[in-house]
């Protein structure tokens, strides 16, 4: 998926001068785009205009027109931000290019081969209302909740107690752990698939490209940097926010990854981890819910349709996991309750 390179400072200044946008509007639009990207993950310009109109009814904001959003998006596309600005036909080849259908997408959702994550998010957001709080412009960047602090603290202080690092693909590649006894916040670790991708991009894999793809390698290494605890939480947060994984699937996936580095959960630790992830998810403004927390969105729907009851049924895989004791039925019911659902047994 091609994306234009950033322009020089002088070229950007010329674009701003040609746009006729005032300094006041430019400052506001920078904050507005940052906030929308941070809260929604992905949003098209036509929806961004509707969000602006709703925001302007709730609080005093700089007066702008739809054309200002369009003009600014073309400039922001050639600047460096934590989001990208895509034309619709760059995302969906069958669509015709249109100013109002330009997309603003967080880089973490669409960069480094994560395009499928964007497409799933775009589909799952469809039909949901946008959450537009009065303090929208204060929500740019990563807003940390108390529930996030609790979850991060738990993950950071887990210890790798097993003496062996297990390879999930090949037991013969198991090896002694250099991390035994250490907390996850005190070491870094590359999973087998990350090691392979690093070697592939470096040109070290037999049968692969012999040339080092330095730019892709640098971007990939930047995306997986940090302690193992930081990587675990970063993946967990992104998967939940985009709807790539639901809570229980994400908990099982994360526990499997932690087992690779020698973390062995007691039953009490597993229950605590599940509860912390549920609390974090339920109190987070999710991209998949267009900025709403799950409980707030459920309450919104209840007010809109007071007589409607949403019921879900459990698939055979989930039922079997409950019977084996791998998933708590009570935890499932609680998660469903928070999301305004009822489980049909």
The per-residue pLDDT for 280 is 96
Per-residue pLDDT, 37 = 97
Which of 344, 323, 343, 326 minimizes the C-alpha distance to 335? 343
The pLDDT of residue 292: 96
Q: Residue 96: its pLDDT value, please?
A: 94
Query: What is the distance between the alpha carbons of residues 166 and 189, in angstroms, rounded to a whole number?
Result: 13
In angstroms, rounded to a whole number, what is the distance separating the alpha carbons of residues 54 and 52?
5
User: What is the Cα–Cα distance from 153 to 294, expressed in whole angstroms?
Assistant: 23
How far is CA 176 from each of CA 160, 179, 191, 196, rounded to the nearest angstrom?
Answer: 12, 9, 15, 19
Where in 57-102 does DSSP place strands (E)? 83-86
Q: In whole angstroms, what is the distance from residue 29 CA to residue 68 CA?
A: 8
Distance from the first to the final alpha carbon of the chain: 44
Instruction: Burial-class residue 208 by CB neighbours within 10 Å (0-12, 13-18, 19+).
Output: middle
Contact, 321 vs 327, CB < 8 A? yes
**Amino acid 76: pLDDT:** 98
CA distance 308 to 317: 28
Give the model's pLDDT for residue 204: 80
From first to last of its 345 residues, the chain has per-residue pLDDT tens of: 678 999 999 999 999 999 999 999 999 999 999 999 999 999 999 999 999 999 999 999 999 999 999 999 999 999 999 999 999 999 999 999 999 999 999 999 987 777 899 999 999 999 999 999 999 999 888 889 999 999 999 999 999 998 877 766 677 777 778 888 999 999 988 877 777 888 878 888 777 677 788 877 787 777 778 899 999 999 999 999 999 998 888 998 999 889 888 898 888 999 999 999 999 999 999 999 999 999 899 888 888 876 666 666 666 556 666 776 666 777 777 767 666 666 765
The domain ranges of the chain are: 9-138, 146-289
Provide the pLDDT for residue 303: 82
């Amino acid at each position: 998926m091609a994306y234009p390179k950033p322009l020089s400072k002088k070229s950007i200044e010329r674009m701003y001068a040609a746009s006729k946008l005032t300094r006041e509007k430019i400052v506001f639009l920078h904050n507005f785009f940052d906030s929308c990207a941070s809260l929604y993950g992905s949003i098209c310009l036509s929806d961004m205009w509707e969000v602006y109109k709703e925001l302007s009814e709730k609080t005093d904001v700089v007066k702008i027109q739809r054309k200002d959003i369009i003009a600014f998006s073309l400039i922001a596309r050639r600047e460096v931000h934590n989001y990208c600005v895509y034309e619709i036909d760059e995302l969906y080849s069958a669509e015709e290019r249109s100013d109002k259908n330009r997309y603003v997408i967080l880089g973490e959702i669409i960069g480094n081969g994560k395009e499928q994550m964007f497409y799933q998010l775009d589909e799952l957001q469809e039909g949901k209302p946008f959450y537009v709080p009065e303090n929208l412009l204060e929500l740019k960047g990563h807003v940390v909740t108390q529930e996030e602090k609790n979850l991060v603290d738990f993950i950071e202080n887990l210890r790798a107690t097993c003496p062996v690092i297990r390879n999930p693909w090949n037991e013969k590649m198991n090896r002694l752990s250099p991390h035994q006894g250490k907390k996850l916040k005190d070491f870094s670790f590359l999973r087998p698939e990350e090691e392979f991708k690093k070697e592939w991009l470096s040109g070290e894999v037999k049968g692969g490209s012999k040339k080092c793809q330095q730019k892709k390698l640098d971007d990939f290494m930047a995306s997986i940097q940090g302690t193992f605890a930081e990587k675990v939480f970063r993946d967990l947060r992104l998967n939940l926010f985009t709807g790539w994984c639901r809570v229980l699937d994400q908990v099982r996936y994360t526990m499997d990854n932690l087992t690779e580095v020698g973390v062995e959960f007691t039953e009490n630790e597993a229950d605590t981890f599940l509860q912390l992830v549920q609390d974090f998810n339920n109190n987070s403004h999710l991209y998949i819910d267009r900025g709403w927390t799950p409980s707030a969105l459920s309450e919104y729907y209840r007010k809109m349709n007071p007589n409607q009851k949403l019921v879900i049924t459990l698939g055979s895989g989930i039922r079997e996991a409950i019977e084996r004791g791998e998933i708590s039925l009570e935890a499932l019911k609680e998660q469903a309750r928070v999301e305004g659902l009822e489980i049909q047994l």
